[in-house]
Structure 1
Amino acid sequence: MLRPTPLLPDSLRRPLVLGFFALLTLLGILLHRDYGLSWDEQLDRLNGIISVKYVALRLAPDLARRQESFAAIPDMSQNEDVDHGVIFQMPLVVLEKLVGAEDPRDVYFLRHLVTFFTVMAGLYGFYVLAAGRFRSWRLGLLGAALLLLSPRLFAEAFYNYKDLVFLAFFTFGIYTLTRLLRRPSAGGALLHALATGAALDVRTMGVLLLGLTAVFAGLEMWYRPAIRRRLLRALLLYVPAAATIVVAGWPYLWEHPIDHFLAAFQSFSRYRSDMLVQYWGRQLSVRHLPWHYAPVWLLITTPVAYTVLFLTGTGALLAAAARQPRVWLRTRTGRQDLLYAVWFFTPLGAIIVLHSVIYDGWRHLYFIYPAFLLLALRGVRSARLLQLEPRRIRRGLGTGLLVLLAGGMLTASYRIIRDHPYQNVYFSFLPGPVAERLFERDYWGLSGRRGLEWILAHDPGARVMVGTDPRAALMLHNNHLLLPPAERARLVLTTGAQARYFLTTYRWHPGSYPARYGPEVYCIRVNGVKILSVFRRP
């Protein structure tokens, strides 16, 4: 049977792929200064600075002590965030010094740009992974486009040093795993060890790569006896190399590495704060969230078309596995699909079964999203291979799925452009008033920057008093660092009671404010969801 001529000939592969990633580079350069400063960024940077000081004291103590800021930097023993890896943060601190970024505004714009480029490098890894699985650069590029055109992740690629950087590192770890399983070698083992160690040094959830490596290496050796010795030798090199990289990239582990790593790993099951989140119209403790918290957040913040294709792909996978499970597992594509299914469902299931503490939507599970999209791509492939009769029904369903995909991508693109720079409050199908009432809004506090800029642009006073809810004071402090120095000098951050302007992002006060706060003089709405208000106090 003749195959249909592909819509995109192979001669276009190189220019299209290069053009796609060149466009991403340009987007990063043009947009990285548009976003506010999120809750965690200052603390993450401090964590990196403390670790750099720790390393400097051991490698060049005299030089370290001569630095002007040496005494002001806490010691490692005073660091409350030692359970967060610093393999990404430490190079950023060094880069700040190399380029001479001194003002906070320059520092954080630089960090936003580097973070975006790091996530885009992970996006390239995802392209290679998808293209290899489906043996199609077209589907690989489509997968990369789907990941890019996921509005919440697009925004967070600029400032989410934890979850999006971990997504990038973990995805690269899955790619190096598939490469090692296909062709075991010492070089492949060392590359996979590097990817595993880097992912672990961003989030300890990277241990999942160790488990996936052990399980799927076992499967590979069972079904491919010819590579058993080579793969076993590679694993014997991989394990100590990964452990060495984990310790080397995380100075907190240099002393008592096993004890400190176990303490860091266990800290995520004993979250330090009893924070509240808005979920289904109620303020709930993060310690007592219902089992459906993460799945619901994933559903309402992912484009509907992607979800439909994910369900289609998952159904096709289950059907293939159920028909002839042994035959299915004998194939390389069958074992790869099983890997992607385990990558997606195991962390999600573990969160539900173990009642793990998560908050701010499903951001702690962002690293499973590439697996979600790989299963969605399987749905795209399945749309072309439906076995339904008569043929017109098969073609109709396949065409319908592809039209749905195209519409979903166009809608996501439109929302990314229209909602900029607040794609982080994207809801896929909920009307604005419903989303505003039931769920968290701008939990990163990014809109605070625009609120401060508006106040300073409309109040000519030499000193402008601005306040907020006590629990949101850090949000104001962070975002004022992105103001130009002259404007920053005019701003006086104070309590809500003493302020001339009261600014809120509604994080822990989802309801309306009483009249005693004064008239609302400015607000930001994103697709009908109010994410910021400024009140002029009486």
Structure 2
Amino acid sequence: MPSLEPITSGTRPPALLRRGWVGGFFGLLLLLGLGLYRDYGVGWDEQIDRLNGIINAKYVAMQLAPELAKRQPTFAEIPDLYGSQDTDHGVFYQLPLVILEKVAHVEDSRDVYLLRHLVIWLTCAAGTWVVYRLGAWRFGSWHWGLLTAALLVLSPRLFAESFYNYKDPVFMGFFALGIYTLVRWLRHPTWQRALLHALATGAATDVRTMGVLLLPLTLGFGALELWQRPLVRRQLLLSGVLYLPFTALVVVVGWPYLWENPIGHFLEVFQSFSRYRTDMLTVYLGQEISVRQLPWHYVPVWLLVTTPPAYSVLFVLGLASVAWAAAQRPLLWMSTTTGRLDLLLVAWCLGPVLAIIVLNSVIYDGWRHLYFIYPAFLLLAVRALHMLWHRWRAAGSPTGRMAGWVSLGLFILSLSSVAYRMVQDHPYQNMYFSLPGTAAGRWFERDYWALSGREGVEWILTHDPAPQVAVGTDARSRLVLHNAQLLLPPAERARLRMVPPDQATYFLTTYRWHPGPYNAYGLPIYERQVNGIPILSIFRLR
């Protein structure tokens, strides 16, 4: 029976050439991040995420060294773990960041958040490497793996959020690692690889609870291997016995909230899949609707309008090609390495979307909660490219070859257009839409991370030399000003006074929950637009 081995295509290129290209790609990626990480503002959730890490750090310290913890100067100001509203968020990633702050001796808010932005970029770059490895394994070539990684980097919204979103792009990398360790275990089922996969599963779950989706994928595709590969059944069963208990151990150890009542607290957290603690409005297709009443098409539409069109077209083609291959001779297709791996990609990509729809789970801010399916989305898109490439090379007619050249030119043109948009929109690649800007601005949420607040506050302080500058914003958006001042130098931070609008000299808005114009304030004295969409306006009130 066919085994789960990498697909090879042709002779393997020299290792030196591969190392040069792959090393150069990821070296440039790291340098790019080092050059850009200071440019992004503090996102809406960053302070909350950091506080969650600090609360858990206090709890761990109280469990391990209570007397030492009580002597810390800020101990009394830190809330207790129980009673905190974010206990349903794991801290496998946030807790080490808090420790890193202490080790690096950074205390001023500007230094703290710049350090955190750098670390999250490095983490997401590591996740990109995992996606490269998955692509190289699936297509049997480092070239195709590198193309998959390049498409991930040239995904504007993911690129921007890789500097300040501690949850979704980070979880995407951890989940991709879980898929990678699963594939390696299925390929050669040893107890070491089973434990490594359990570690990856537990870590992903402790970053976001949806990491538990790795469990049914592991059990389902493990059973499929047992059926198709009788020669490795004994190794699969013996090593697989270790997977579930070790995964449970990692989840509990890495999530302090579970320590005192692992089963009860985890079930409580798991229920948050299909509910949200408060109601909230979001702009979708031009209407403000409750996040508890989102239509079934919310995720597919958001995914399509925020993904480069060429990727979406290739994904549909790749999905169709998988369905066609499976429909021809299902049992034979299932017995092949490519068939089982493509089925895994489809389950990884579509399974969570269907679960969100069926469970009517609450999501918001676009489809960011499902970013972890995006590597599978790209791998299916690259599958279509891989298929078209080989058909083009096999084409004997001049018409077929000409069609191939035209298609290749259009694809390169599409990538160039995306890269150009990313440069033009910097540092607001999170505002990328595949629609015209005027339509996107009317139909969908804009800068829901409120990153542009930093630019607005800096502009006001640069153009107003007064020792104290009073700035106001919408009542529900006061956090925008608070987050914006975190990256100011201390002297500038001291000049900023955050006040209600009726006491302010300047009114700043990022249009969150207020998509319409502010006619009562007249014309803005400063405005930032991205592809024709206003995301920041400043009005002088007096």
Task: Provide the TM-score with structure 2 as the length reference.
Answer: 0.96
Q: 1:479 to 1:500 in 2, by over 3 A?
A: same
Q: Does residue 168 of the first structure (1) align with residue 185 of the second (2)? A: no
Q: 1:31 to 1:85 in 2, by over 3 A?
A: same
- Equivalent AA in structure 2 for residue 412 of structure 1: V
Local SS of the residue matching 1:406: helix
Q: 1:319 to 1:77 in 2, by over 3 A?
A: same
Q: Distance in 1 between matches of 2:272 and 2:320?
A: 37
Q: Give the aligned partner of residue 533 of structure 1.
A: 537
Q: Does residue 117 of the first structure (1) align with residue 122 of the second (2)? A: yes
Residue of structure 2 aligned with 1:256, choices 244, 256, 261: 261
1:419, 1:526 within 8 Å by CA — same for their partners in 2? Answer: yes
Deviation at 1:29, TM superposition (A): 1.2
Q: Give the aligned partner of residue 292 of structure 2.
A: 287
Residue of structure 1 aligned with 2:251, choices 239, 246, 271: 246
Residue of structure 1 aligned with 2:72, choices 63, 67, 75: 67
Q: Give the aligned partner of residue 16 of structure 1.
A: 21
Deviation at 1:314, TM superposition (A): 1.2
Deviation at 1:380, TM superposition (A): 0.7
Q: 1:180 to 1:8 in 2, by over 3 A?
A: closer
Q: Does residue 313 of the first structure (1) align with residue 318 of the second (2)? A: yes
Q: 1:331 to 1:483 in 2, by over 3 A?
A: same
Q: What's the % identity of the aligned pairs?
A: 61
Residue of structure 2 aligned with 1:423, choices 412, 419, 429: 429
Describe the superposition over 1:268-290 as per-residue Cα deviations: whole angstroms up to 9, x where unpaired. Answer: 31201211111111111101111
1:360, 1:440 within 8 Å by CA — same for their partners in 2? Answer: yes
Residue of structure 1 aligned with 2:182, choices 160, 177, 181: 177
Residue of structure 2 aligned with 1:199, choices 201, 204, 209: 204
Deviation at 1:496, TM superposition (A): 1.6
Q: Give the aligned partner of residue 476 of structure 2.
A: 471
Residue of structure 2 aligned with 1:414, choices 413, 417, 420: 420
Q: Give the aligned partner of residue 4 of structure 2.
A: none
Describe the superposition over 1:421-462 as per-residue Cα deviations: whole angstroms up to 9, x where unpaired. Answer: 00000012x111111111111000000000000000011111
Q: 1:536 to 1:518 in 2, by over 3 A?
A: farther
Runs of 4 or more off by more than 4 Å in structure 1? 3-11, 387-390
Residue of structure 2 aligned with 1:494, choices 483, 487, 499: 499
Q: Give the aligned partner of residue 362 of structure 1.
A: 367
Q: Give the aligned partner of residue 522 of structure 1.
A: 526
1:383, 1:399 within 8 Å by CA — same for their partners in 2? Answer: no
Deviation at 1:254, TM superposition (A): 0.2
Local SS of the residue matching 1:77: coil
- Equivalent AA in structure 1 for residue 405 of structure 2: T
Deviation at 1:189, TM superposition (A): 0.7
2:9, 2:139 within 8 Å by CA — same for their partners in 1? Answer: no
Q: 1:409 to 1:10 in 2, by over 3 A?
A: farther
Q: Give the aligned partner of residue 138 of structure 1.
A: 143
Deviation at 1:392, TM superposition (A): 3.9
Q: Does residue 40 of the first structure (1) align with residue 45 of the second (2)? A: yes
Describe the superposition over 1:73-112 as per-residue Cα deviations: whole angstroms up to 9, x where unpaired. Answer: 1111131100000000000000000011100000000000
Deviation at 1:301, TM superposition (A): 0.7
2:186, 2:222 within 8 Å by CA — same for their partners in 1? Answer: yes
Task: Provide the TM-score with structure 1 as the length reference.
Answer: 0.97
- Equivalent AA in structure 2 for residue 524 of structure 1: R
Q: CA RMSD in A?
A: 1.7
Deviation at 1:398, TM superposition (A): 3.7
Local SS of the residue matching 2:534: strand
Residue of structure 2 aligned with 1:404, choices 383, 400, 410: 410
Deviation at 1:534, TM superposition (A): 0.4
Q: How many residue pairs end up in the alignment?
A: 534
Deviation at 1:354, TM superposition (A): 2.2
Q: Distance in 2 between matches of 1:398 and 1:180?
A: 38
Describe the superposition over 1:387-444 as per-residue Cα deviations: whole angstroms up to 9, x where unpaired. Answer: 998734543444344333212211111111111100000012x111111111111000
Q: Does residue 329 of the first structure (1) align with residue 360 of the second (2)? A: no
Local SS of the residue matching 1:85: coil
